[in-house]
Structure 1
Amino acid sequence: MTRINVALVFGGGPPGPLGHDMSVEFARSVYEALDRKQHSPILVAVAPDGKWWLQENTNGFPLGPGSSSAQLILLPGGRGKALLHRCNENDSTCNVDVVFPISPYYCTGLLEIAQVPFVGSRSPAPAICGDKQIVKRILRDAGLPIARSLTLTTKEALKFQFVQEALGSRSLFVKPASLYNSIGVSKVTCEAEFEAAVDLAFRYDSKVLVEEYVQARELECAVLPDTEQPSKLLCSWPSEVIPDEHTFYTAQAKLDEKGVVLKTKAELDEAEADRVRSLSCEAFRVIGCEAMARVDFFMRPNAELLINEVGVSPALGPSSAFPRMMKECGIPYNVLVQRLLEDAIKRAERAKNPIT
């Protein structure tokens, strides 16, 4: 039986537990879940400068590029053929059958140019979901419910009182438009806090989103297409994020085991859960997602639902929300990894042989 060469691309992004380190840990989990009878892993570490380095020492799990590593370069249109470049040796090639990207710097465009199968959505869904303003605009224009928000492109664009009145909210959230893991997000209640929060957000991004504060439960739903019938979506029972010591689901809360509780099966009645599932599937289709997505919601005390975010590259550690919700659906972690790889290969085959 010929084994499939699976390139795990990990690392890159900002240093620290919510960037590079988290990517490495998720990649380690996927690496350990691969069935060695079917898959031959190729470990590729993304350096801070964006270069891809082959990890040739697979004794254990490497954490980053070594001094003797080869730089790996996927060839445009090569359908997985990659160049291995070493500074003091002749170049060689290898073949990648499918890529499993687990990097904060999502590499959809590069993988599409290389024409290699990969886990995750093709363009434009990753770009859409990478910008909170754009994804909200698309959801709104499709008639799906979202929280009210305004966009800043300069620090002096709006004053706190004006934004309060415009959004009908005394408290506000300020966040960079294109960052993840709640980095740079602040909750503000006065002018001084607002100005400081805007300054912080602009350190990370050139566009800043200001949203109304929504008193609500925070729900999440996992969506996974059928590998044979992509239009058929499996949608999990919603989970609930319950902040404990933190006022909201901050970046610090995601690192603090006591800071947040993830209730894999939220206490909802069947009708409420079905509404969350239905909206999750609608959002998945409207954005043009493939492979998988996690859809985040606010549920007000009156049971009104608002879509907060759509993530096409959810965290994939075994204890992360998406795998836990899939496990609740009867798909354990190793089966989920296998299913994502199968889906990537089948989508690539369909793209090569479209129905005419």
Structure 2
Amino acid sequence: MTFAGSLQEGGGPRVRLHRSYLRGTDHWSSPKLPQPQWQEDGVHRTCSISQESPPGLPLPSSPGQVAPEGGSFGPLSTSVPSGGSGIGRACCQVLAREGARLVVTDINLQAAKHTLTLLPGGQQHVAVAMDVKDRRSVEDAMKFAQDQCDAPPSLLVNCAGVATFALISEADDDLWQKIIDVNLKGIFLVTQAFATSLLDNGKDSKGAIVNIASILGKTGHTYLGGYSASKGGVISLTKTCAAELASKAIRVNCVLPGLIDTPMAAGASEEILENHKRLTPLGRLGHPEEVAEVVAFLLSERSSYMVGACVEVTGGYAM
């Protein structure tokens, strides 16, 4: 972790202090710190104090550092449920650009295969059909990913989701259950299979998960009761998983998009779209790529101290 601050020495020049701290537990005793090193440029005095981390617990990459070589993710493999369209496809494109090897899953295999044609990296990426509502389908897809990559995926983006517009008074049991099964149960099943396969591997369990929730999980919305409730559940599930998995070196965070220009948004009426834009300070829908860039950040070592965070990508809606 890096602490940055500033001090004022009497009436003298402004002093900027940067200090690198250890990540660890309460069981550690603090070793003797090295002497500070001062540098002057005639205006500022800068003090740097750095310390090596104990064996087995490396400090995170410095802010802005790109690691490993070849992009933010190097050879790390990433599973992207519902990567066949919308935000999922945009995540695949951004992650492939950053060097990740993609396992694109979707209930529509042809859509997943089409995503592959849009990715840099050619044959290193694979597509597989997966129904996030079905445990056997999820486990089979995870095994396929592990076999193809010679190791379980270490990064996961949970972005499968459905929405149906209906008043609570008009929604039937089947409609409600489908939304919960895809949007909430699906994340539970995929996260469980992902974490189990990664931890069972034993070699290097370090990983990261990003769940796609929604700002409506915080605010609710008329005609979208089931969707809003399911996304509120995703927010809570994210924090629970984050608390349980952080000690196992798996970080879990989520993104809360506003209304994004995807096939899902096409189901909204013109009145809903215009009202949403009116309530959004930027005055427009978001682009899938704008969400995907945040997802890539949360998966990378640049966000190494973020756990259980819910990042809003809304254009200012409901802030």
Q: Give your verdict on TM over 0.5.
A: no
Structure number having the greater strand percentage: 1
Structure number having the greater helix percentage: 2
Taking structure 2 as the reference length, the TM-score comes to 0.33
- Structure with greater Cα Rg: 2
